[in-house]
Amino acid sequence: MAASVSGLVSGLDTSTIISQLMKVEAQTQTNLKSKLSTEQTNVKSLQDLNSAFAALATSAADLAKATAWNPVSVTTSIGGTATTLVSATAGANAITGPLSFTVGHTALSQRLTFGTSALQTDVVTTGSTFVRIDNLDGTTQDIDTGDGSLAGLVRGLNATGTGVKASTVRLDDGTFRLQVTSTATGDASDFTLTNIDGSDLLGGATVRAGRDAEITIGTDTVHSATNTFTDVANGLSITLGSTVADGTVVDVNVSQDTAGMTKTVKGIVDAMNAALAKIDSLTGYNSTTKTAGPLAGDASVRALRNNVLNSIYPGDGTSMAGVGIQLDRFGKLTFDADKFTAAYTADPGAVAAQFTSGASGFASRVQVVAKGASDSVDGSITTSISGRNSTIRRMQDSIDDWDNRLALRQNTLTKQFTAMESALQQMNSQSSWLTSQLGSLSSGS
């Protein structure tokens, strides 16, 4: 940019004059920046709306599945008192009603406690610094202890992937006793740990064998390698706490979770109303401030509101009023929890059918509308966002072009005013010279 000395000859504040002229020159860019900011705000509003409909699509799709309509509540008790020592969870095909079983015993992992204690630095391997793990399934592992010391043996056994965990217990004489435990539980967790040649390590070990967990349901005794029995009875999975006593009788009760189902359906209605409220705030007119919402001119967003409301009507002349879902005179969905609960308690299958019966089910209709708006490829809101982002990029390019154009214009103005000051300086110099010459002529005459 050209250098400028402001008004030394003319007395004019040329810097201010140039600044004011540049404001006029930059008005078009200023208007573009304002439009860019508005468009960016609109995109943010659309993105928020898109997120709301994407969440609604996911929730509706989940509710449209038949498996969503078998919610049950599971409680466990011992001697009539609720317990956390044993837990049970219901699968998709859980059967309501009571179930009792008796705990035989919990699962255990195998543990080896070695007979000879040693100092951490003592060499405890013989014939090699490697030791060998022989697993019950016939596989073997050779473990590198490094220097053959007790500390090195513990480090080697605790390396990733060995399937065992080693620890030491400090005895009164200052030596340490080695214990090695399988990381898995059950009968199949058994292993042996020896020197590489098969000889006893540290005098051999006392074995606590691994065992499967065991429960008896009726006349049948079942086993599990872990404390969890998956889908063992009535669609239930049962997990024993590690401290539950052998012989404990556990009662499990499975009941229809009508309250949970009511809450789920209410959640969908609330999500639909939240989406409608967001649309209204973006497209409505505020009579107090006399301003329209930022997306008041977006026909696709206004059409989306109608699609949401129309989704409550099955299309066969019926309605969802029988299960508590209606449209009020303000264009808002209402949900009568008591009416839904009564209908669902009376006939769960019929109510579920109204939500899940293929494409005509309420949940499916809502999911189609919500996905049609928020689909990441061709959703109506997604398409609108893409179009507006393209406009934003064009605006930003124009603003960047104006930066270059304005820089050139300011440089030109600066040169012009600098040239003016120089010309005035030259004229003043010439005027002074002429005055002196005329004065000389007058004096000589």
Contact 295, 381 (CB under 8 A): no
Nearest to 282 by CA among 384, 430, 354: 384
Provide the residue range defining the domain that includes 252: 72-107+213-256
* pLDDT of res. 287: 79
Contact 226, 186 (CB under 8 A): yes
247 torsion bin: left (phi>0), alpha (psi -120 to 50), beta (else): left
Are 274 and 290 contained in the same domain? yes
* pLDDT of res. 442: 62
**How many H helices and E strands in the chain?**
9, 20
Contact 355, 363 (CB under 8 A): yes
What is the number of domains present in the chain?
Answer: 3
Are 149 and 56 contained in the same domain? no
* pLDDT of res. 444: 55
Question: Per the domain annotation, does 19 fall within a domain?
Answer: no
The list of the chain residues with pLDDT below 50 reads 1
Are 247 and 273 contained in the same domain? no
* pLDDT of res. 174: 96
* pLDDT of res. 192: 96
* pLDDT of res. 296: 82
| Overall residue count recorded for the chain in this entry | 445
* pLDDT of res. 443: 60
Question: Per the domain annotation, does 322 fall within a domain?
Answer: yes
Find the helix or strand (DSSP H, E) in which 442 lies: helix 380-444
Are 271 and 251 contained in the same domain? no
Q: What is the pLDDT of residues 248-276, one digit of tens each?
A: 999 999 988 888 899 999 999 999 999 99
* pLDDT of res. 340: 95
* pLDDT of res. 115: 97
Question: Per the domain annotation, does 193 fall within a domain?
Answer: yes
Are 377 and 276 contained in the same domain? yes
Are 121 and 96 contained in the same domain? no
Q: What is the pLDDT of residues 364-385, one digit of tens each?
A: 999 999 999 999 888 888 988 8
* pLDDT of res. 239: 97
* pLDDT of res. 243: 95
* pLDDT of res. 10: 62
Are 86 and 46 contained in the same domain? no
* pLDDT of res. 4: 52
